[in-house]
Amino acid sequence: MSSDNGAVLRERTFTEVARRDQIVRAAITTLAEVGYAKTSLGKIARTAGLSSVGMISYYFDGKAELMSEVLATVLAGAEAEVGPRVREAPGKLAALRAYIEASVAYIAGHPAEMAALFEISSGQHKQGESAGEDIEAVGVRIVADLVAGAQAELGTPDPLDPYVVAVAVRGAIRMALTHPRPADLSRIADLFERSLRFVPPAGDPR
């Protein structure tokens, strides 16, 4: 391959990546504005400023594939912000706090992405698909592992069920999607940390 052909290929690849990103961003905006049911490739094309739906079809084989790419993009963005804070925490309890605080902060700072995630999850659930449920199951499992580790770290004599706590944590985080003042939810980390640190009195039937 000549150097000229290589330059052309690199330019084409760069342009294609940029176009895919443009389409995904337009899909996120459209989902946030009109919801999953009303989101069509035509509306996404208009949001992206594209001349035809065919320009989307060149990169994505229909709405389902594009929605999968939106999910992957949003989740990758969340992982990029939440993951490092969890991994850098000095212990399991600190990691749980970091997960909660970083998740709420990401939601507060990315309303369009979170709206798109919610719309895809709820929209696909109504159609009998399970992408949203799979995402939630993974989230619960991650938090349950953090809870179990935190209780082991604390030496809790009568530990709470990690799964039950994880479901509660995920539910509290999901509230940030619709809460009018998500910053208020930053204190939910305090609530869960206190519950894990609590040692019931002797004879308590908890």
Alpha helix positions (H), 63-110: 63-88, 92-109
Inter-residue contact 90 to 136 (CB < 8 Å): no
Q: What is the pLDDT of residues 150-204, one digit of tens each?
A: 999 999 888 999 999 999 999 988 877 676 665 566 688 888 999 998 866 555 5
Quick one: residue 179, left, alpha or beta (phi over 0 = left, psi -120 to 50 = alpha)?
Answer: beta
Q: What is the pLDDT of residue 186?
A: 64
- Please provide residue 198's backbone torsions phi and psi, each rounded to the nearest 5 degrees: -65, 130
Mark 131-168 as b/e (b = at least 16 C-beta within 10 Å).
Answer: bbeebbeebbebbbebbbbbbeebeeeeebebeebbbb
Q: What is the pLDDT of residue 175?
A: 79
Q: What is the pLDDT of residue 4?
A: 54
The structure's pTM equals 0.81
Q: What is the pLDDT of residues 79-116, one digit of tens each?
A: 999 999 999 999 999 999 999 999 988 988 899 999 99
Inter-residue contact 116 to 189 (CB < 8 Å): no
What are the C-alpha distances in Å from 189 to residues 46, 88, 195? 41, 17, 10
Average pLDDT, the chain: 85
Q: What is the pLDDT of residue 8?
A: 42
Q: What is the pLDDT of residue 127?
A: 64
The closest of 98, 75, 78 to 88, measured between CA atoms, is 98
Q: What is the pLDDT of residue 9?
A: 46
Q: Which domains does the chain have, with CATH numbers?
A: 4-197 (1.10.357.10)
Percentage of the chain exceeding pLDDT 90: 55
Q: What is the pLDDT of residues 54-84, one digit of tens each?
A: 999 999 999 999 999 999 999 999 999 999 9
What are the C-alpha distances in Å from 156 to residues 12, 17, 59, 197, 206? 58, 50, 52, 7, 13
